[in-house]
Amino acid sequence: MENNIGSTLVPSDEDARLENLKKYKILYTKTEPIFDQLAALTATMMNTPIAMINFVDRDKVWTKADQSGHAGLEVDREVSLCSLAILNDSVTVFEDLIQDPCLISNPLIVGESGLRFYAAASITTNEGFRVGAVCIVDKKPRVFKEEDRKKLELIALMVRKEMNKRIGITELEPQAV
């Protein structure tokens, strides 16, 4: 059994996905209040000790923001659960990470971090590329409900809208009828 997720878990359109991500000029940038606020809002809404906005680069998963207003954390992509999250159209959930035999030897789960719960909604660009994830984690197992999924997806959509502003895309809000 490997002690990581494996470097073979990359989207088939990886080169195009990375080019699309670069277009947003968000990787390895300074902290920005809006992203810090979205991470803090996520932690509060989801009642979790840790919430992060992460972007998946070729070899690293980089944290743009977390609930405490810090950024810049880098984790090897091959051990990051966000690498799995960008492979899914739907929200990725592990209610108790140690129950998954494929992840039990992951250093983020068995190491100092001792993570037990993980849920993430992919950050998807207008072009359909999953470039990152809004994730929540906890050191204890949790139950993840349908309303939790909706909340996490909403925050991921808000992150996308902020990313679009960076490149001059303004999205019209639906008009009330």
Angular region, 44: left φ>0, alpha ψ -120 to 50, beta rest: alpha
CATH architecture, domain 13-165 = 2-Layer Sandwich (3.30)
In 3D space, the residue among 114, 73, 72, 77 whose CA is nearest the CA of residue 96 turns out to be 114
Could you give the dihedral angle defined by the CA atoms of residues 138, 135, 50 and 113, in that order, rounded to the nearest 10 degrees? 60
Within 10 angstroms of residue 69's Cβ, the number of other Cβ atoms is: 13
The pLDDT tens digits for 44-68 are 999 999 999 999 999 999 999 999 8
Mean pLDDT of 29-54: 95
Q: Tell me the two tokens of residue 170.
A: 């303004």
Q: For position 104, what pLDDT does the model report?
A: 64
Mean pLDDT of 135-162: 96
Domain ranges of the chain: 13-165
Q: For position 1, what pLDDT does the model report?
A: 28
pTM of the model: 0.88
Mean pLDDT of 12-34: 95
Could you give the dihedral angle defined by the CA atoms of residues 24, 27, 32 and 34, in that order, rounded to the nearest 10 degrees? 50
Q: For position 175, what pLDDT does the model report?
A: 47
